[in-house]
Amino acid sequence: MHCRLFAAALVVSTVLTAAPPTVSAAASFGYSTGSDKYVVSTGKGLTVTMKQSTCDITSINYNGKELQYKSKATHVNSGLGKVTSSIKTLSDSKKTIRVICKKTGLEQTYLFRPNENVIYMGTYHAKDLVLPELRFLARLDKSAVNTGITEATIESGMTAIEAEDVMQNSQGLTRSKYYSGVPFIDNAVYGVKGKSVGAYFVISDVGYETSSGGPFFRDINNKLDVSNELTFYMNSDHTRTEDYRYGFHGPYALTFTSGAAPSASSLDFNFFQDLGLTGFVPSAKRGKMAGTITDSKNVLGNSDVVVGFSNAAAQYWVKVAAGKKTFTSPLMKAGRYTATVYKKQLAVGTASVLINAGATKTQSITVSYNMTSNPIWRIGEWDGTPGGFLNADKIHKMHPSDYRMSAWKALTFKAGSDADSAFPMAQFRGVNDPITISFSLTAAQAKVSRTLKIGITLAQSSGRSSVTVNSKWTAPVPASVAVKTRGVTRGVVVATTSSMSTPFQHQRWLRVPTLSSSQSQVALQTHPRSS
């Protein structure tokens, strides 16, 4: 017998004192320096002013319109504090303007190119500097850039219902900066806009290589409240599943348009190859893999497939079209990687792959996952996600308490007849437990020992499943695989995927006289936090 349950438990700056300068939109490409400031103009309508002592950006003037929020700056994290900075014109054909900002353990680089309304960036972070998170935060004036990501737009009158970062209005509609997140693999271009202006992050093909979490990790992109905050999170503790990586983050860019989003291919990051930036690995020192997926038991079927690569220093991924079995990886730093094949988001095969600089590794990855065929019953698709279950289509974009959610309540689910969409995508202790699964067995089926398998993609607050059969037998409670922080209430449903298999001896749990027509029940509850 097979079912799938996704268990979780609820738990339950620099102030600018001077007005930004008035800048002509027609300023030619170049830079000037003054009292503790650099002023850089792209020659196409963008002029950026930053403090020399901190590298805080204090003005972003686009076509004569000031976009920078006046009360706080745009910068790495919430500001780097005192830094050593320099500005120069490089000797390349474009005469690129470079600003480098250094402090122990961190080096931030800003690059400007003629006639491009773009701030190109790279961030080098070493272990010398311990940071709880690493992000680039653009704080924009919401009177000029007044439209953000809807789910992260905090409206007047909303109050906090969880920590200080999940908000709710009087009708029960919820918003949070966390609901702006998109899986890294799909998050190459995102942004905010206003009248005749748009601000967008564009992340290069290797922009997430030094981040953590893998292809399906999601983090904060936006919050529209007193200002319109646009963020590129490089590392954070938001439902973190692995150790931080260190080194060069990027390249990435903050680009300004008349409103429309740029395409991922609209920016050319190739000029980074010759800049010699600290920690940056050029393409000539990278290799790649030309791979083949061997799936003799057709575990993948017609599912979406992703191949991921990871080690302690870097991570990469590539999408593989449904039905295809060959792929080519991105250019990767030299080293040994664990390559993982995902059926949607379920790891179904791994291989160790050695990548050498300047070479293409040809290798096969075998799908080794034992996908049980012909179960007596199965609820949902076994693909590492809660997709298709009740509220799964909403959970990434709103709090579980949101009035738009279908009610979370205890229920009896008839396996084999009830629709998967009636089965809840999460179980909350004291809210929608127990969940009772009712089913029938033939006499022949009842004579064979059976195993109940439960897939868990995320647990929090030490949550784990407790299983009771026919109110007479309770399975041992397994150890929790819970993350250390909030998850499902932040719109995250995938962390450390695990499964729980519970074997039953038929004589211990079926005690009815006519087995061929009997009704049996499995009750699932969320076990409380361990003491």
Structural domain spans, the chain: 30-274, 283-366
Determine the Cα–Cα distance for residues 214 and 121; give it in Å rounded to an integer: 22
Provide the CATH number for the domain formed by 283-366 in this structure: 2.60.40.1120
As given in the structure block, the two tokens for residue 376 are: 């007596």
With beta carbons less than 8 A apart as the criterion, state whether 201 and 101 touch: no
Determine the Cα–Cα distance for residues 134 and 7; give it in Å rounded to an integer: 30
As given in the structure block, the two tokens for residue 530 are: 């361990």
As given in the structure block, the two tokens for residue 400 are: 């579980």
pLDDT > 90? residue 315: yes
As given in the structure block, the two tokens for residue 426 are: 């999460």
Please name which of 319, 310, 240 lies closest in space to residue 495, comparing C-alpha atoms. 240
State residue 522's pLDDT score. 78
Is the domain defined by 30-274 classed in CATH 1.10.10.60? Answer: no
pLDDT band, residue 465 (cuts 50/70/90): confident
Please name which of 305, 363, 318 lies closest in space to residue 336, comparing C-alpha atoms. 363
State residue 337's pLDDT score. 99
As given in the structure block, the two tokens for residue 335 are: 């080293």
State residue 8's pLDDT score. 38
Long-range Cβ pairs for the range 326-329 (8 Å, 24+)? 326/290, 326/291, 326/292, 326/293, 327/290, 327/291, 327/293, 328/288, 328/289, 328/290, 328/291, 329/288, 329/289, 329/290, 329/291
As given in the structure block, the two tokens for residue 441 are: 């067995």
Q: Where are the beta strands (DSSP E) in 158-313?
A: 159-162, 166-168, 174-176, 189-194, 197-203, 222-224, 228-235, 247-257, 286-294, 305-310
Mean pLDDT on 375-383: 92
Query: What angle (nearest 5°) sits at the alpha carbon of residue 463, between those of residues 461 and 464?
Result: 160
pLDDT band, residue 450 (cuts 50/70/90): confident
Please name which of 180, 174, 116, 175 lies closest in space to residue 149, comparing C-alpha atoms. 180
Determine the Cα–Cα distance for residues 350 and 367; give it in Å rounded to an integer: 7
As given in the structure block, the two tokens for residue 123 are: 């961030």
Coil, strand, or helix at residue 150? helix
Distances (CA, A) of 439 to 116, 512, 515: 64, 14, 12
pLDDT band, residue 528 (cuts 50/70/90): low
State residue 462's pLDDT score. 72
Determine the Cα–Cα distance for residues 379 and 388; give it in Å rounded to an integer: 10
Mean pLDDT on 218-241: 95
Please name which of 386, 392, 402, 388 lies closest in space to residue 151, comparing C-alpha atoms. 402
State residue 106's pLDDT score. 98
Mean pLDDT on 220-225: 98
Selected residue with higher pLDDT from 428 and 2: 428
> How confident is the model over 138-148, as pLDDT tens digits?
999 999 999 99
- Strand 84-89 with 75-76, pairing: unpaired
Mean pLDDT on 429-456: 87
Q: Where are the beta strands (DSSP E) in 415-463?
A: 435-441, 450-456
Q: Please count the CA atoms within 13 angstroms of the CA of 200 that sit on its side-chain side.
A: 22
Q: Does the reported pTM lie above 0.75?
A: yes
Query: How much of the chain is helix, strand and coil, in % rounded to 5?
Result: 5, 40, 55
Helix then strand count (H, E) for the chain reads 2, 34
